Amino acid sequence: MNDAAALRVAIAQLNLLVGDIDGNATRIIDTSAHARDTLQADMVVFPELTLTGYPPEDLLLRPGMQERVAAAVERIRTQVRGITVVFGYPRSKAGALYNSVAMLRDGEFIAQGDKQHLPNYSVFDEKRYFVAGHDRCVGEVKDCRVGVVICEDVWESGPVAEVVAAGAQLVLNINASPFHVDKGNEREAVVGRRARESGVPLIYVNLVGGQDELVFDGESFAVDADGEVVCRFPAYAEGLYTVDFTRRGEDLLPRAQDEPAEPLSTDASIYQALVTGVRDYVTKNGFEGVVIGLSGGIDSALTLAVAVDALGAEVVEAVMLPSRYTAAMSREDAATEAHLLGVEYHEISIDSVYQAFLDALADEFTGYGIDTTEENIQARCRGVILMAISNKKHKMVLTTGNKSEMAVGYATLYGDMAGGFCVLKDVSKTRVYRLVEYRNRIAPVIPRRVIERPPSAELAPDQKDSDSLPPYDILDPILRLYVEQDQGVEDIVAAGFDADTVRRVVRMVDRNEYKRRQAPPGVRITRRAFGRDRRYPITSAYGRDR
C-alpha cells in the first residue's frame, strides 16, 4: 500500500429537496461520477436519508414511497461504477421501516446498517416512522475497513464502539443535523470524544440547506484519532470536499490539504441561517420573488436585507403602507433602505382603506370607545394589500415580526402576521439589533436613525413598544428562561427579575398560543423555537392562578 494514497474520501455536502427521490438519486449518481473522475476519490459519502431528503415526515407513510425508493436504489446500484458510494435512505425490511445506510461498489452491496438511536425530542420525531435497528455497517474499501454510523448514533458511545470492534479503522458519521446557536461546537466536542474513545479517526458529513423551519448548516469535518479537527469545510455552502488518509501500520491518518475553514461567529452563523432558510423556502416552493411591508422600523429593515442577500434585489419588492400615524422619518427611512438595497419600492397609503372600514363599522361600533380594534384594522388593511400583491405577482409575502413580539402576542392576526414565511420568527428583538450591526459592517444598508429610534408599531399617536411591553433588555431574558428553558415564575424571579413583571410576561405568553399556532413558519435558530419545537396546548387551565 502506497503511504501517499492509502484512501481518498469525498464528502458530498449537498442541498437536497425533500420528496424528490428521482432528483436526489440523480444527484448521487452525478456527484459520484465527479468524485471518481475529477477528484480521484476512492469513496464518496452523502448525508443521512439522502434519497428522501430530511425530514421526510409523513411522506414516509405514503403507499408508493418504498416502491420509489427501491427503484432509486436500483438506479444507483446499476449506474455507479469505479467508486464506493455511501448514502442514507429509508429501508423496508420484514415489514418495518429503518433509517438506513448503504455502502455500494460496482453494483454490489458491500455493507448496510441501520440507525440505532432514534431521536424523539425537540424537532425530531423519528420514532413515529422508524424502528431502531441493530445491523452494523462495516465494509472494506481499498484494503481499509470503514464503518458507518448515522447521525444520533455518534452522540452515544455504543454504535461507534461496535463498528470499531468489528474492525473499522475509520468511522463515517452521516447526518442531517439542523442548526441552532453553538451547534457546531457541540458536534465537534462529541465527535472528538468518540474518536478518542475508539482510537480511530471520524468523518462527520452533514446536510446543507433549508427545509421549512429547519436550516442545515453543513460544516462537515474530520477529526484524527486524538479528536483534533483536521479538516473543516465551509458552512452554508454546497460542496464536494476530499480527505486523504495515509497508513501507519493498521492506523489511518487523516491529512488536511488546506487549513480548516474558520467557524463563523455567532452573528454571522445566525445571519447565514436566515439567508439560507429564506432562499430555500422561497425557491423550493416555486415563488418568483418576495414582497415585504417596509415600515421604516428595524425589523422590516433586517428582513429586507436578508431577502436581498438570499434572493437578489431584482426579485424583492418593498412596499411602504403609511397611515395617518406614520411618522415622516419612517417614510424617509423606508425609502432610503429600499434605495440602498436596490429593490423595487412603492408607497401605498392605507388611509382611505382604513376609513372605509371605519365607515362600514360605524353603526356596529356605536357606543364603544376607540381601542386596539382600530389599531388592528390598520394592520389588517396592510395585510390585505400585501397579500393582493402576492397573489397578482406570484411573490411570497415575508412577514417581519420577531420572536419577542410573537412570544407575548404583540402582533395582529391576519394583519402583520399575514404572509408565507416569517424570517425573524425565532430571533429576539435584542438579537435583531446585533444582526443589524453585523449586516451593516458588511455594507451599511440600514440607516443609523432606524437603529437608534425607539421601536413603535405606529398604529396610534406617539405610540412606542414600551407603552405595552417591558423594555426589551428585560423582556428578552425573561422570555429566554420561560420559553426556551421552561423555567417557572419562581425560578425566574429568583434569577433577579421583578415578580410582577415576570407574571405579566408569562400571562402574555400563555394566552397568545392561539396566535402563534396561526403564524407562518420561520427559520429556527435557537434550541426552542415556536412551532414544531415548543408545543403547548391552546386551551389549558395550567397557570391561570398566576
Active site members? 48, 115, 151
Contact 321, 350 (CB under 8 A): yes
C-alpha cell at 493: 424571579
Could you give the CA distance from residue 281 to residue 383 in angstroms, rounded to a whole number? Answer: 20
Instruction: Give the DSSP H or E segment for 77.
Output: helix 65-79
Query: Grid coordinates in use for 294?
Result: 417596509
Q: How far apart are CA 469 and CA 487, in angstroms?
A: 20
Q: What is the DSSP string of 458-477?
A: -SSTT--GGGTS--HHHHHH
Q: What is the four-CA torsion angle of 361, 362, 368, 371, rounded to 10 degrees?
A: 60
* Residue 327 CB burial class (10 angstroms; 0-12, 13-18, ≥19): middle
CB 125 within 8 A of CB 148: no
Q: From CA 503, how far away is CA 451, in angstroms rounded? A: 29
Q: Which H, E and C letters describe 284-313, residue by residue?
A: HCCCCEEEEECCCCHHHHHHHHHHHHHHCH
Preceding peptide of 55 cis, ω within 30°: yes
In order of 10, 126, 137, 370, the CA distances from 172 in angstroms are: 11, 21, 10, 64
How far apart CA 399 and CA 27 sit, in angstroms, is 33
Which residues share a beta bridge with 216?
A: 178, 209
d(CA 356, CA 457): 21
How many other CB atoms are there within 10 angstroms of residue 168's CB atom?
25
> Contact at 8 Å (CB) between 483 and 407?
yes
DSSP classification of residue 539: S
